[in-house]
Homo-oligomer: A and B are copies of this chain.
């Protein structure tokens, strides 16, 4: 029986591999018999860091993303069931965390395949560490709703939940909607609630600002079309 290895990817292409990936990553990648990736493009960028052109060309590649059908997910395990070791990566960060992969892991386990994971960067945990908010309890909500009334309702719900559970509440947004979400958060939250925005983590443009909403309203924060993590803590 083969193995499925969950491999970390960088959060940003310009990030320093030595700061954000385990030392053994290259050696493990070189030992794989195939790679399952969220996209071919990201897979090639990833492999190029660790393999020669010939090694890359020889490595079988499969994709697994939100378009994959359940029966296709099962087929990805065939070579592993025959004894091969394959890797799984997502386009950025950790597979299965706010990214595809959990169906594959679940199916692998049901068939007795050993699943192994390596440490790596998660924008969710990095943002939580840098926020200064409590990390004793927290909740991650993925993408927040897009329609204005639903979004405002959700924001108030997260603010309340943060207070009741003493837990940081974390969400993400597509880069082109980050600035809009920041405005809605500032307009919807109580002045005393703390709001943190972690932008382009691990890139040369990384910023993390953690202020009360009252302070945010007096603060100018240029936010272009950049990937951002939003955190709320209310008391």
Contact = CB atoms under 8 A, between A and B. Distances in A.
A134 interface: yes
Given A118-B19, A128-B97, A139 B136 contact: no
A19 B24 contact: yes
A6 B129 contact: yes
Contacts of A23: 17-18, 21-23
Interface string A119-137: 1111001101111111111
Given A102-B134, A138-B140, A142-B136, A129 B117 contact: yes
A21 B119 CA distance: 7
A135 B123 CA distance: 13
**Interface size bucket, A side?**
35 or more
A81 interface: no
B21 A94 contact: no
B119 A19 contact: yes
The number of times this chain is found in the oligomer is 2
A210 B113 CA distance: 13
A98 B135 contact: yes
A94 B23 CA distance: 17
Nearest to A196: B109
A119 B24 contact: no
A132 B119 contact: no
Nearest to A103: B132
A101 interface: yes
B128 A106 contact: no
Contacts of A138: 139-140
Contact of A132 (B105, B129, B132): B105
B117 A119 contact: no
B120 A119 contact: yes
A210 B109 contact: yes
Contact of A106 (B17, B108, B132): B132
A226 interface: no
